[in-house]
Structure 1
Amino acid sequence: MEEHLVDWSRAQFALTAMYHWIFVPLTLGLGFIVAIMESIYVKTNDEFWKKTTKFWMGLFAINFAIGVATGIIMEFEFGTNWANYSWFVGDIFGAPLAVEGILAFFMESTFFAVMFFGWDKVSKGFHLLSTWLVAVGSNLSALWILVANGWMQYPVGMTFNPDTVRNEMNNFWDVLFSPVAVSKFLHTIASGYVLASLFVIGISSWYLLKKRDILFAKRSIIIGSTFGLITSLFLILSGDESAHQVALKQPMKLAAMEGLYEGTTDAGIVAMGILNPKKTISNDEEPFLLEVTAPYALSLLGYHDIHAFVPGIKDLVYGNVEQGIISTQEKMQKGKLAVQALENYKEAKKAKNEDQLLQSKAVLDENMKYFGYGHIKKVEDVVPPVAISFYSFHIMVALGSWFTLLFTMVLFFATKRDILKYPLLLKAALWSIPLGYIASEAGWVVAEVGRQPWAIQDLMPVGIAATKIATTNVMISFFIFATLFTVLLIAEVKIMTKQIGLGSESKEH
């Protein structure tokens, strides 16, 4: 029953997070696009740009409001469904979330009111400032949330207090500027910018296909494709750094992303491939039914050295003495020592045995980095779902490459040709909107599924993190949330499509 409870708790949080992420990336990017458009209006004093800004701002507001509702529910789930996790790391994990609520969300919510309702009520300059602050505030919210998530992937800046059985922050700056947190933040917001750019050029393409609001659509498509091309290039650079950090801090995730079972030097990256469903860590089946590999690319991507050794799943599970990789079995033994030392510490404290207290504390400190392995039942449990990790990663990369090409083509034909004469390109732009969401969600699947079974890397498996409550309660709330979020999504799509159908109301000839 406990296993079912954990599965349902994970399913509920995954549901909430994936629905929430439908709304967040558009907010991250569209806020800046709107601010750019309003800046052009303030500089030119052209009413056309004011109407254009108001149109996209209206869509931003719809998305922003619904995104807030799903985000609030997700934060509450840490207390209801993951109470053990919240107790174990609440002093650290809660800090960036508190800063997000007090500083970033407060700022964006306050200036959102001015931005949306303040037209002709405040000066142009102050209204423009408010619009920029909403865009910045949205991204600051993302910063603190991604710092918290980055800490789960690579826990730093803390010490474990055996008296309270909690991890306590001892260096805020280590948490904030963790290389994993920084790369995760930059790559995630870049994906939001790309998605928002796809949204703008896709909607604009729909108008051009319908021969409506031509001037509005052409100018919007230029801004969207320019912003998209710049940010898609940044997305590639930040993705390279993100993969480098994964290789250094979460090598098992990288191995799963590439379906790499046997470690090797001069490792190539699988550009395209079909996994062999019969392959497991314990048999000699070939990992792929079909694969196209780019030589040396994985060593370069992971370690910035074309000859670097990239450990495979077997190396990380069974160990590799030549490469200095200890086995999962050894880590489990060290983890059990840490767990037992904690129990001994509690008993010594109760008995007021100072010598045993110090001895237990020394053993605990020595093995604390493997504490989570003390709760792992068998070595194979540390291998994440390879197929999900592999296909999600490659879908994300393939679509990201397509988006860069699309922005390049759209920008070229919008500025150097009459883009109305290229309906196939306009249709491709329109149908790339859902592809943007697929790529964005796939990125989170890689990040979260690829680090299983850990709630906190190496310190706490998800099975220990979950709240011990009735499985039925989690199941009921899962279906309630699924229904609620689906209704919210349908409502947003209907409201947005109605607003888009009304058009920009720009007077053009």
Structure 2
Amino acid sequence: MFTDYLSTVDWSRAQFALTAIYHWLFVPLTLGLGPLIAIMETLYVRTGDEFWRRTTKFWMRLFGVNFAIGVATGLILEFEFGTNWSNYSHFVGDIFGAPLAIEGIFAFFLESTFIAVMFFGWGKVSKGFHLTATWLTAIGANLSAWWILVANAWMQYPVGCTFNLETVRNEMSSFSEVALSPVAVNKFLHTVTSSFTLAALFVVGVSAWYLLRGREKRMATKSIAIASLFGLVSALATAWSGDQSGAIAARTQPMKLAAMEALYDGEQGAPLTVIGLLRPEAERSSNDDAFHFKVDIPKLLSVMSFRDAEAFVPGINDLLEGNAEHGILPAEEKMARGRAVIATLARYRQARDEGDTGTMQQIEALFDSATPQGEHFLREYFAYFGYGYLESPQQLVPNVPLLFYSFRVMVGAGCLFILLLALVWWFNRRERLDTKRWLLHAAVWCIPLAYLASQAGWIVAEVGRQPWAIQGLMPVNIAASKIPSGSVTTTFILFLVLFTALLIAEVSILCRQIKIGPKNE
């Protein structure tokens, strides 16, 4: 039974990863293409030029195909919290459910209401009202993203909550802390600006395809004029917010940062590795033997992490074995403190069953932050509650090669996008873009690269926080539902087939619509 439960955890993780990956193939284009369409329609309303109406409706068709499939995968993703992760849902449903409920009631209804007007209201409502509906659809999609990302950020940085000893659940104590935590704000900015960049590259790439074939030159050049500038600003904002993400991770998820850099031994004035080739896991135990080769920039990791060229950046070994000089507890000590909390909760349940009010009051004081002993217990012991469920310190180390290479794919692609969008904007502005066929081909190939970079970013975010479902409070092996592994295996295969079919259908429809091009009305 125990091995079967472990198998269930593994399959549940695989199924959730599958659903999230497929869902994120559709979401970023929706988030970024909405504002671009709204800008184009704004130009139509202001100028009255039918060219902009025709251009807007073309990109709107592509938006609609993508939006529909994205909604379908998103609904399945949310239901999986209840079916596959019921222990997680019970433990923090009071907190995690609030932003998801707001997303469903407010943002989703906003975009789903006005998207009907956006698609079917041409000629049936006034230009001004139709433009308003288009902008509200774009805003609604990004509001949906805000609340979903708030929920995700809380899993990585749990704040604004208190532990209820009676129900053994975390409950929200401050909605503003949850909704406006620095992790949530930064995650939203980074995710949305990267989605804007992806959508801009999509518009630029499709337009470049038309120019390569000598078709729809005016639509292509005008679309590129808008999308390249929009994308360049977004890409620069993505780089800025990504830098902020690294600084936040250094303080809230140091193991993620250490794994991203394959940093085994902490250093003062730590260098940033630009590129490198990792040795096999069995050969990696220190900085000296982690790489076959690498190219790094001295002190840059310390600067990016703590804004100090001489700052100490802890490595994997420091976080596992401890570093007294820098106030880092050994993982074994954290695990021991976590087990002490679990034992205390067991004592409380026993005392409650036996009617031992004296013991109950003593333990309740430990969980009361208003008392001195409670403040100490919550800070020094309960903060490591989740560590008590781990079997080995090595479980705290995520997949180092996957994180290391994914991070460099994301950053490298991001730098390339900034350069490409700047060149496209420059040559298009000087009406020389159609002569730069190498640049047009590069723009087309940047469409799949943008999706690869986007997926790599989420791999860094989610794989980097393993083994935690909730950072420091609940590991994934405790969060999963206790259901037969065969049930999860079956649904995993069904979802794999279904999502792959949906992806093939979307790509086929998009390619067909692009080949057809804008319609004359």
Place the TM-score, normalised by the shorter chain, in its bin. Answer: over 0.9
Unaligned ranges ≥5, structure 1: none
Deviations 1:313-360 (A, max 9, x none): 001111000001111111001100111111111111112212211223
What secondary structure does 1:467 align onto? coil
Work out the CA distance in 2 between the residues paired with 1:18 and 1:280: 31
| Corresponding letter in the other structure for 1:18 | I
When residues 79 and 307 of structure 1 are mapped into structure 2, their CA distance, relative to the original with a 3 A threshold, is same
**How far apart are residue 292 of structure 1 and its match?**
0.5
Query: Which residue does 2:499 correspond to in 1?
Result: 485
Alignment correspondent of 2:371: none
| Aligned twin of 1:124 | 127
- Report how far residue 29 of structure 1 moved: 0.2
- State the aligned residue count: 507
Structure 1 position 292 matched with structure 2 position 278: no
Q: Give the share of equivalent positions with the same residue, in percent.
A: 56
Asked whether 1:142 is paired with 2:145, we answer yes
Q: After superposition, what is the alpha-carbon deviation per residue over 1:197-233, rounded to whole angstroms, capped at 9, x for unaligned? A: 0100000000000101111111111111010001001
* TM superposition shift of 1:306: 1.4
Give distance in 2, aligned partners of 1:239 and 1:313: 22
Q: Distance in 1 between matches of 2:278 and 2:10?
A: 25
RMSD between superposed Cα atoms in Å: 1.2
Structure 1 residue 281 displacement after superposition:
6.4
Equivalent position to 1:458, from 463, 472, 496: 472
SS in 2 for 1:505: coil
> Aligned residue for 1:380?
394
CA distance in structure 1 between the aligned counterparts of 2:68 and 2:52, rounded to whole angstroms: 24
Q: Helix, strand or coil: the match of 1:290?
A: strand
Corresponding letter in the other structure for 1:215? R
Asked if 1:320 is matched to 2:323, the reply is yes
Contact 1:278–1:285 under 8 Å retained in 2 = no
Residue of structure 2 in register with 1:171 after alignment: 174
Residue 438 (structure 1) aligned with residue 452 (structure 2): yes
Structure 1 residues 45-85: Cα deviation after superposition (integer angstroms, max 9, x where no partner): 10000000000011001100000000000000000000000
Q: Normalising to structure 1: TM-score of the pair? A: 0.98
- Further displaced range: 151-160 or 362-371: 362-371
Distance 2:200 2:287 in 1: 46
- Equivalent residue for 2:340, pick from 337, 341, 348: 337
Which residue identity does 1:502 align to in structure 2? I
SS of match in other structure, 1:155:
coil
Residue pair 1:213, 1:506 contacting (<8 A) in 2 also: no
Q: Which residue of 1 aligns with 2:201?
A: 198
Corresponding residue number in structure 1 for 2:370? none
**1:392 equivalent in structure 2:** 406
Partner of 1:371: 385
Cα distance in 1 for partners of 2:37, 2:250 equals 37
Distance 1:280 1:107 in 2: 54
Q: Counterpart of 1:244? A: 247
Q: What is the CA-CA distance between 1:284 and the residue it aligns to? A: 8.2
Q: Does structure 2 retain, via aligned residues, the 8 Å contact 1:100–1:141?
A: yes
**Equivalent residue for 2:63?**
60
Structure 2 distance, partners of 1:126, 1:295, is 56
Counterparts of residues 346-365 of structure 1 (less than 5 Å):
346-363=349-366
| Counterpart check, 1:269 vs 2:272 | yes
Partner SS, residue 65 of structure 1: helix
Moved more, 18-27 or 382-391: 382-391
Find the residue that maps to 2:312 and give its secondary structure: coil
In 1, the alpha carbon distance for the partners of 2:288 and 2:280 equals 9
Question: Deviation per CA, 1:421-451, whole angstroms, max 9, x where unpaired?
Answer: 1111000000100000000000000000000
The alpha-carbon deviation at position 190 of structure 1 amounts to 0.8
SS of 1:160 mapped into structure 2: strand
CA distance in 2, matches of 1:196, 1:171: 35
Change in Cα spacing, 1:199 to 1:308, as seen in structure 2 (3 Å) is: same
1:162 Cα offset (Å): 1.6
Counterpart secondary structure, 1:322: helix
Equivalent in the alignment of 2:309 = 306
- Any conservation in 2 of the 1:279–1:285 contact (CA below 8 Å)? no
Specify which of 101, 104, 108 is matched with residue 107 of structure 2: 104
Provide the residue aligned with 2:43 in structure 1: 40
Partners of 1:265 and 1:506 in 2: how far apart?
Answer: 64
User: Which residue matches 1:409?
Assistant: 423
- Cα gap change, 1:96 to 1:278, in 2 (>3 Å): closer
With over 3 angstroms needed to count, the CA separation of the structure-2 counterparts of 1:28 and 1:472, relative to structure 1, is same
Structure 1 residue 505 displacement after superposition: 3.4
The amino acid that maps onto 1:462 is V
Task: Pick the aligned partner of 1:10 from 10, 13, 21.
Answer: 13
Residues in 2 aligned to 1:112 and 1:307: alpha-carbon distance in whole angstroms: 52
1:420 maps onto 2:434 in alignment: yes
Q: 1:368 Cα shift?
A: 1.4
Q: Which amino acid aligns with 1:223?
A: I
Unaligned runs of 5+ in 2: 368-373
CA apart distance, 1:504: 1.5
